[in-house]
Structure 1
Amino acid sequence: MTTVIKAIFWDLDGTLVDSELIHEQAAFFATRELGFVSAVEIIPAGLENLAVFELMLGQALSLDNQALFARWEQLAIEYALARISPQQQIKQSLELFNYFASLGLPQAVVSNSTAPLVRHSLQQLGILEHCSQIFSRDSVEFGKPHPQLYLNALEFHQLSPSQCLSFEDSRSGITAAQACGINVIGIGENTRQYAPQLVCDLNHESWLKLIQESFNCA
């Protein structure tokens, strides 16, 4: 018998809200403001701020650049906070969120973004009060692809991995959920290469029927 899904875990950026481009722009803005040239021109989706900073700086975090990272991160967060709005919602995900809410399933957000950004984004989407909990990057020592955020979500909800369903749009997020044994749905065709159990195509108007056919969420 198929295990009944009892909790939903959502990634945020690129999954509930189409904000990946905003975060990339924020990173380059902060870099320019602080007067150093980025070592890369493209930032992979799903990376935590520290990983992005190290990639752009071309060196690992150290005592010498710790203060620079703190200022860079603050500038990037402020840039994103000023630009994330309801217009960035991913409507297929919001439809699913409302469907799961109608079933009474707890839904948590598990994100590599910081708590202020997560809360602001969820407020813009109008779903903050419907989230059972927020697990943000600043609540753990290691972000995705490390599994700690998902391990914390499992512990909080007191559920086994097979009873949970996660939505992710990046390699780091899918890797983190898979490491815990959680059911993973990839958002976007590009996630197919990371072997989630199901892929939802952003070109499709609705994913509801696909989810209903694939998982027992009753």
Structure 2
Amino acid sequence: MLAELHPGRARALLFDWDGTLVDSQHANYRAMAEALAPHGMTLRQEWFDARTGLSSADMIRTLAQETGLRSAPPIGELVAARDGHFLANAARIRLHPQVAEVMHTYHGVLPMAVASGGARQVIEATMRHLSLQDLFTAVVTRDEVERGKPAPDIFLQASEALAVPPAHCLVYEDSDEGIEAAHAAGMRVIDVRPFTRPTR
């Protein structure tokens, strides 16, 4: 395990999902772009990459506001279309090996949770493909909280689910929004981006 990813004295580990544990950046971009294209919404890769910490719904809202689009279908329909496109290719998603090593090393040693702005059905489907469903004590997603990242809600709920105070939780994250959320929750955070490189 890389020394930079060692959890130190943490009593619980919280992992973001997309971009942190799994290399899903390009798959997520393609799914979102395909969902938006029929409605005249163009999604640029660099725009998407800069906002990966947002949930799909929040990302679509932001894009609609920035482009002044008013005639798109309801956001829920667009998110469902995005999720459908992603699930069709979920079996192709692979783990980020450096972060996965942390997960495998501390499984059964420390309580662990997935704490993600993604949709529960998408995360759970991908977990099944990767045979990870039994490694985590809890999975907390955007579906279970009022506010997504950069608000701290997802991490605080994961802390509660693991019965470990926030100050003793360590977060592994790959986005500015997620890092901000972890700090707002009073948790230590490791930015995994120096150790993960998206594949195409």
Q: Quick check: which has more Rg, 1 or 2?
A: 1
Q: Deviations over 1:160-188 (max 9, x none)?
A: 22211110000011110111111101111
> Residue 105 of structure 2: which of 99, 102, 111 is its match?
99
Asked whether the equivalents of residues 16 and 115 of structure 2 are also in contact (C-alpha less than 8 Å), the reply is yes
Give the C-alpha shift of residue 68 in structure 1: 2.2
- How many residue pairs match? The answer is 187
| CA distance in 2: counterparts of 1:74 and 1:86, whole angstroms | 20
Q: How high is the TM-score relative to the length of structure 1?
A: 0.77
Amino acid aligned to 1:38: T
Structure 1 pair 131–71 and aligned structure 2 pair: CA distance change class (3 A) = same
SS at match of 2:9: coil
**What are the residue-to-residue correspondences of 1:108-123 with 2, within 5 Å?**
108-123=113-128
SS at match of 2:172: strand
Could you say which residue in structure 1 is the equivalent of 2:196? Answer: 202
- The farther-off stretch of 122-131 and 11-20 is 122-131
Structure 1 pair 149–126 and aligned structure 2 pair: CA distance change class (3 A) = same
Asked whether the equivalents of residues 10 and 109 of structure 1 are also in contact (C-alpha less than 8 Å), the reply is yes
Give the C-alpha shift of residue 28 in structure 1: 0.9
Amino acid aligned to 2:147: F
Deviation beyond 6 Å, 4+ runs, structure 1: none
Q: Deviations over 1:115-174 (max 9, x none)?
A: 001111222221111210110011111111111111111222222222111100000111
Over the residues paired in the alignment, what is the CA RMSD in angstroms? 2.4
Identity level (%): 26
SS at match of 1:58: helix
Larger RCO: Structure 1 or Structure 2 (Cα < 8 Å, ≥ 6 residues apart)? Answer: 2
| Unaligned residue ranges in structure 2 (runs of 5+) | 1-7
Could you say which residue in structure 2 is the equivalent of 1:37? Answer: 41
Could you say which residue in structure 2 is the equivalent of 1:131? Answer: 136
Q: How high is the TM-score relative to the length of structure 2?
A: 0.84
Give the C-alpha shift of residue 107 in structure 1: 0.8
Amino acid aligned to 1:92: Q
Could you say which residue in structure 2 is the equivalent of 1:27? Answer: 32
Matched, 1:48 2:55: yes
